Structure 1
Amino acid sequence: MKKLCSIFVMLLTLTPWVAWGFDFEHTTLENGLDVYVVSDHRTPVVVNFVWYKAGAGDEENGKTGLAHMLEHLMFKGTENIPPQEFSKIVARHGGKDNAFTSYDYTAYYQKVAKENLLKMMEIEADRMQGLTFTDAEFQPERDVILEERRMRVESKPQNRFFEEFSHVHMPNHPYGRPVIGWQKDIENYTYQMNHDWYKKWYHPNNAFVILIGDITLDEARPMLAQTYAKVPNVRQVNHQPWAVEPAFDGAKRYQKVDKAVQVPLWARMYRATSLFAGIAGAKPNKDDTLPLMVMAQILGGGNSSYLYQKLVKEQELADSVSVSYSSVQRGESSVDVVLVPKEGVRLETLEHAYEQALTAFSQNTLSDAQVKRAITLLKSYDVYGRDDPFVAAYHFGKFMVAGGKAKAFDDWLTEIEKVTAEDVLNVANKYLQVDHSTTGLLVQNDNQF
């Protein structure tokens, strides 16, 4: 696969790029539910994907994790579906189903053979407003969530650290709270809290459906009429603006000693614009987002990246380097750097080397070839991702729920070609400022600092 990927990247570099073209059909039902149909006739399979514009970012302080809790309860049953039967119905029809919660959304999907799509649409429409979980079902599910938190967070030193680190970085913003919720909040959940969350957010005009696979809109219309179109729109959902994280007065720092840590790490989060929100409540600087994507790829996108070559290969101070940035989210974004030192290297030494390497990068001249290669890699990742209908639908839905317009989903594929080396260096100097960042250090003992 690596060899095939390398050949593909080489071909993209040698030939002009043609926009991939994410073709879709769209309709809006009378109840306000938007439906997007993406045809892919390679196999007789369809993904039924329902997105609700309600996630952890919409929660109140003291009630964190409710969106995730309701995701679990959505499998408890309706008047027409007995408790715990939802996934069994999907399985009996030869399909797979799951759900996931983020800050920006909660989403549910089933992947089935085309002839079973109608049944999936029926049961998904049924639970859009017909959920009937009881307090007797709610109580043990809360314990399940607590156990999930213990397994995913409390028992894993790195996960605990990043949860705390994110809160230090943005203590006032929803992105500074864990999606799964703080343990104290989960322990204080009540049946009524979850019922109220469901009644507040789960409405057709606060959701959209993506049907992707061996289906067309004309084929889907009669199925939509029998299922989603019958869900009443009982209220208008209004989203309140999220809390704003004020501008930093200076650099933040969080250090933690944890005896359970096996591998120390150094991390830094730089505040950055997203496509839909700027820093500290400012308007988004959309012109910076594509250069930021290219910058992250050049700095820390794999073994050929600038920081990997400097810190891992040349100076032999780090075992791994990663730099990431996402422009697609409702709130402001960040450029995230994570370094894992080689055994015996103190984090102070690694941080100093990183700072020197970053300064050199910002002051040097990037070649057009470096920028072009990064752009080509970013495009190739997108092309390979779209080969899987589920992945294609995921990125399409994530873009729209963050605030994007469906017709603009593919715009970046052509716009990114305009990014220059000067643009990349400009955003590096603009956003990679320590005074607008939070640095985190995780070690097993003080000697590793």
Structure 2
Amino acid sequence: MLATIIALAIGQVALKAQAADTHEYKLDNGLRVIVQEDHRAPVVVSQVWYRAGSIDEVNGKTGVAHVLEHMMFKGTKQIKPGQFSRLIAAAGGRENAFTGTDYTAYYQQLEKSQLPLSFKLEADRMANLELTKEEFSKEIRVVMEERRWRTDDKPQGMLNEQFNAIAFQAHPYGRPIVGWMNDLENMTFEDAREWYHHWYTPSNAILVVAGDVKGDEVYKLAKQYFGPIRPHALPARKPQLEPQQIGERRTVVKVPAELPSILMGFHVPVLQDADKDWEPYALEILAGVLDGNASARLNQNLVRQQQLAVDVGASYDMIQRGQVGLFELEGTPSEGKTVAELEAALLEQVERIKQDGVTEEELQRVKAQVIAADVYQRDSVFYQAMRIGRLETTGFSWRTLDSYPAKLSAVTPQQVQEVARKYLIKDTLSVATLDPQPIDPNAKPKGKPHEH
């Protein structure tokens, strides 16, 4: 109990400090600017988030959001292909980008005096990207290599992809972010250009800056570099909901691998109303009861005591723009044990919580652990910006962070038991098992690592 009180107190102090040092602005063209001041070191992180990810793609063009992310490094009228990265490196910084289901983001981390360089380059490619057929034909091959490297060559990557495909049969979350290979093989220069012109506009972007800066100074810089960019109307976004699952789904993935494994998921709700919802917080606590550290139930019972598994896990993410979520369980059976035995054991742990609930001591441990981790992660300037960007692009305010510790602390043992009983049921369960096939010692990787 004492640990929870201390962690909550620390969290509330940290959140009050963040709220005082966080500033929000909006340019005339619709670009939102959020600045998180942190003056502990003379560094700054600048991130541009676009509210466009694989969730916005259509069948036949999967992977185009990620392809466009690659093309954003291929030059403008002023910047030659590859020069963006060289300029940031010459300034002593680092940069990269990532594509998710709900967003695409680009970032630079620099010494604070170099922030104008970051803004100049990002504003330039937001408005003036030069998409050429020559560069596209080169980069699409790089993306296909990346898919081979990250998915086709990785048993766990194949398992995850097939699991999502059965867990989401109508919702775009069932499609891989990197895209299906057939779609990549048939993607055109026009597909990438269409994506850029549809979604890359100031009114669909959020500029997040964290570090040793002043809010008003960042705002002036943003107006200088991003302000002249003219916005355009966005395409209409149609609701994309997953029909109610009415029975268990299963798939078996047979690929060369050393060990079998299992991935299971139940359909559960995600956060929609940050003020009123309580179930997502109870589900997050439930995941912590099952997983999170060496004393959590899955590791304690299945790895240490019963020695059924070499590793196990439980996970849940309450922040999803697609308004659908999964509560996942996974594991790798120990030598001499089967996937079926491990599956039964994982489900048994869930049933125990349904029947007997969780103890107050267990609940307090998890709350302290989750809240303390949340507080300590704020030590990273990059992570501070990431939290803000992800919340804002998925439809929530960064102010949602203010209530997070209190919401978790308010969860009761009865609520944890209630969400387990209500949502972790067989009719909403999807199961993917990895059936390892013999590994050819002479086989070469299909793909290779990539650079943007």
TM-score normalised by the shorter chain: which range applies? over 0.9
Q: Which moved more, 1:48-57 or 1:218-227?
A: 218-227
Residue 259 of structure 2 is aligned to residue 269 of structure 1 = no
Query: Residue 437 of structure 1 corresponds to which residue in structure 2?
Result: 429
Residue 371 of structure 2 is aligned to residue 379 of structure 1 = yes
Structure-2 change in CA distance of 1:180 and 1:10 (3 Å): farther
Query: Residue 330 of structure 1 corresponds to which residue in structure 2?
Result: 321
For residues 329 and 396 of structure 2, the distance between their equivalents in structure 1, rounded to whole angstroms, comes to: 26
Unaligned runs of 5+ in 2: 439-452
Q: Which moved more, 1:224-233 or 1:87-96?
A: 224-233
For residues 129 and 118 of structure 1, the distance between their equivalents in structure 2, rounded to whole angstroms, comes to: 17
Q: Secondary structure at the match of 2:278?
A: helix
Counterpart selection for 2:134 from 121, 133, 136: 136
For residues 255 and 93 of structure 1, the distance between their equivalents in structure 2, rounded to whole angstroms, comes to: 49
Counterpart selection for 2:290 from 296, 299, 312: 299
Task: Return the offset for 1:222.
Answer: 2.7
Where does structure 1 differ by over 6 angstroms across 4 or more consecutive aligned residues?
none
Task: Return the offset for 1:434.
Answer: 1.3
Counterpart selection for 2:109 from 102, 108, 111: 111
Letter in 1 for 2:90: R
Task: Return the offset for 1:108.
Answer: 0.3
How is 1:73-88 mapped onto 2 (pairs within 5 angstroms)?
73-88=71-86
Residue 350 of structure 2 is aligned to residue 358 of structure 1 = yes
For residues 174 and 276 of structure 2, the distance between their equivalents in structure 1, rounded to whole angstroms, comes to: 22
Q: Secondary structure at the match of 1:37?
A: strand
Query: Residue 94 of structure 2 corresponds to which residue in structure 1?
Result: 96
Task: Return the offset for 1:171.
Answer: 2.1
Residue 359 of structure 2 is aligned to residue 367 of structure 1 = yes
Query: Residue 44 of structure 2 corresponds to which residue in structure 1?
Result: 46
For residues 357 and 407 of structure 1, the distance between their equivalents in structure 2, rounded to whole angstroms, comes to: 35
Structure-2 change in CA distance of 1:285 and 1:435 (3 Å): farther
Counterpart selection for 1:240 from 237, 240, 249: 237
Query: Residue 441 of structure 2 corresponds to which residue in structure 1?
Result: none
Deviations along 1:186-212, whole A, 9 cap, x unmatched?
011111110011000000000010110
CA contact (8 A) 2:85 2:95 kept: yes
CA contact (8 A) 1:13 1:373 kept: no
For residues 418 and 70 of structure 2, the distance between their equivalents in structure 1, rounded to whole angstroms, comes to: 45
CA contact (8 A) 1:321 1:337 kept: yes
How is 1:333-344 mapped onto 2 (pairs within 5 angstroms)?
333-344=325-336
- % identity of equivalent residues: 35
For residues 253 and 364 of structure 2, the distance between their equivalents in structure 1, rounded to whole angstroms, comes to: 40
For residues 357 and 11 of structure 1, the distance between their equivalents in structure 2, rounded to whole angstroms, comes to: 26
Structure-2 change in CA distance of 1:336 and 1:191 (3 Å): same
For residues 140 and 28 of structure 1, the distance between their equivalents in structure 2, rounded to whole angstroms, comes to: 37
Deviations along 1:316-348, whole A, 9 cap, x unmatched?
111111000000111211101001100110112
**What TM-score, normalized by structure 2, do the two folds share?**
0.92
Task: Return the offset for 1:257.
Answer: 2.8
For residues 4 and 353 of structure 2, the distance between their equivalents in structure 1, rounded to whole angstroms, comes to: 26
For residues 320 and 348 of structure 2, the distance between their equivalents in structure 1, rounded to whole angstroms, comes to: 31
Residue 242 of structure 2 is aligned to residue 254 of structure 1 = no
For residues 130 and 49 of structure 1, the distance between their equivalents in structure 2, rounded to whole angstroms, comes to: 18
How is 1:195-234 mapped onto 2 (pairs within 5 angstroms)?
195-233=193-231
Letter in 1 for 2:307: E
Q: Which moved more, 1:92-101 or 1:390-399?
A: 390-399
Q: How many residues align?
A: 431
Q: Which moved more, 1:380-389 or 1:172-181?
A: 380-389
Deviations along 1:111-148, whole A, 9 cap, x unmatched?
11111111110110111011012101110101001111
Residue 154 of structure 2 is aligned to residue 163 of structure 1 = no
Letter in 2 for 1:98: N
Structure-2 change in CA distance of 1:249 and 1:16 (3 Å): closer
Letter in 2 for 1:218: D
CA contact (8 A) 1:273 1:284 kept: no
Task: Return the offset for 1:285.
Answer: 8.4
For residues 314 and 13 of structure 1, the distance between their equivalents in structure 2, rounded to whole angstroms, comes to: 31
Task: Return the offset for 1:408.
Answer: 2.1
Task: Return the offset for 1:445.
Answer: 5.7
Deviations along 1:62-117, whole A, 9 cap, x unmatched?
10000000000000111111111001010111111000000100000111111111
Higher relative contact order (CA 8 A, sep 6+): 2
Task: Return the offset for 1:169.
Answer: 1.2
Deviations along 1:303-323, whole A, 9 cap, x unmatched?
211122221122111111100
For residues 286 and 417 of structure 2, the distance between their equivalents in structure 1, rounded to whole angstroms, comes to: 8
Query: Residue 31 of structure 2 corresponds to which residue in structure 1?
Result: 33
Letter in 2 for 1:267: L
CA contact (8 A) 1:173 1:242 kept: no
Counterpart selection for 1:63 from 61, 64, 89: 61
Query: Residue 398 of structure 1 corresponds to which residue in structure 2?
Result: 390
Deviations along 1:270-323, whole A, 9 cap, x unmatched?
00111139xxxxx99832000000000001222211122221122111111100
For residues 220 and 363 of structure 2, the distance between their equivalents in structure 1, rounded to whole angstroms, comes to: 48
For residues 312 and 186 of structure 1, the distance between their equivalents in structure 2, rounded to whole angstroms, comes to: 41
Task: Return the offset for 1:255.
Answer: 1.7
Letter in 1 for 2:58: E
Deviations along 1:373-427, whole A, 9 cap, x unmatched?
1111111111121111111111111111111023223211212111011111111
**Root-mean-square deviation (Å):** 1.9
Q: Secondary structure at the match of 2:345?
A: helix
Counterpart selection for 2:180 from 182, 207, 231: 182
Unaligned runs of 5+ in 1: 1-8, 278-282
Structure-2 change in CA distance of 1:54 and 1:291 (3 Å): same
Task: Return the offset for 1:354.
Answer: 2.4
For residues 273 and 441 of structure 1, the distance between their equivalents in structure 2, rounded to whole angstroms, comes to: 24
Q: Secondary structure at the match of 2:9?
A: coil
Q: Secondary structure at the match of 1:232?
A: coil
For residues 74 and 97 of structure 1, the distance between their equivalents in structure 2, rounded to whole angstroms, comes to: 13
Q: Which moved more, 1:199-208 or 1:248-257?
A: 248-257
Q: Secondary structure at the match of 2:87?
A: helix
CA contact (8 A) 1:167 1:176 kept: yes
For residues 354 and 189 of structure 1, the distance between their equivalents in structure 2, rounded to whole angstroms, comes to: 41
For residues 274 and 26 of structure 1, the distance between their equivalents in structure 2, rounded to whole angstroms, comes to: 26
